[in-house]
Structure formats: structure tokens, C-alpha cells
Amino acid sequence: MRILNFTQHDATAEQLSAGVVEPDGHDKERIRQLLTFDELPKHSDLRQRATNCAVLASVLLKKYECDGVLIGGAPFFMSQLESVLRLFKVRYCYAFSRREAEEQVQPDGSVKKTHVFKHVGFIFDEEDCQ
């Protein structure tokens, strides 16, 4: 299965190896513009933006020969986006990551603890897609 990265962020190496396809620079910029909100949006703005996303996703799915889109972003927008993607019959999913702690001993002997998110899989809009 090939999944188009329809998020503002670049896909991780783990996601790419799991079938995520990263769009080219121009297409990625179009996606970022649609998913970025610099002003407080009205409900009608969210619906229009979601419609624009669904139209673009439909075109890019064909261009990149993908089966669905990976979505994620502002929580206030995701329900609108999901709703419109369903209307356009665009299959979508979310990435699922596991947070793992890593400790690094520093030159002064102190320990720096960081959390790394490891890609585990995808959560699809349809039960039978997993």
C-alpha cells in the first residue's frame, strides 16, 4: 500500500519504508499552505479549506499512484478534513508512533534524556484497512 504524506511535516525514514510517499517540493508547499492557519478561522473557512484539501488530495493520489493519504495537523481542523475526504471517497489514515526514552551520557557525566517517536503503523478510517 502506498500512502501520500498529506501533512505539513516530512515523512520519517521509518514511514517511507512503510509505504509513505513524500510529494515533491511544489506539491508539499501547496499542502503546507492549505494546512497552515495564521488567523482564527470561521467554520465556513474550515469547510472551504477542507474541500480544497480533498480536491488536491484527489489529484495527487493519481499523480503519485497512492491508495490513500496520511493526515495530521491542527485538531480543530481534522474532523472537517475527515468529513470532506469521506465525501470525496479519499481514503485517509493517521500515523501511530510509540514514544521511547533514550538517555545520553554527556561529557560532564550528566545524563540527557530525550524522547524519540518511533513509527509503529497507521490508523485508517476503515476498520478493515489495517
- CA-to-CA distance for 41 and 92, rounded, in angstroms? 23
Query: What pLDDT, on the 0 to 100 scale, is given for residue 125?
Result: 79
Band of residue 120 on the pLDDT scale cut at 50, 70, 90? very high
Query: What pLDDT, on the 0 to 100 scale, is given for residue 51?
Result: 98
Written as nine digits, the cell of 121 is: 503503523
Q: What is the pLDDT of residues 29-81, one digit of tens each?
A: 999 999 999 999 999 999 999 999 999 999 999 999 999 999 999 999 999 99
The single residue listed with the C-alpha cell 480533498 is 54
Written as nine digits, the cell of 79 is: 474532523
Query: What pLDDT, on the 0 to 100 scale, is given for residue 129?
Result: 46
Query: What pLDDT, on the 0 to 100 scale, is given for residue 89?
Result: 96
- CA-to-CA distance for 130 and 117, rounded, in angstroms? 20
Query: What pLDDT, on the 0 to 100 scale, is given for residue 99?
Result: 86
The total of other beta-carbon atoms located within 10 Å of residue 32's CB is 13
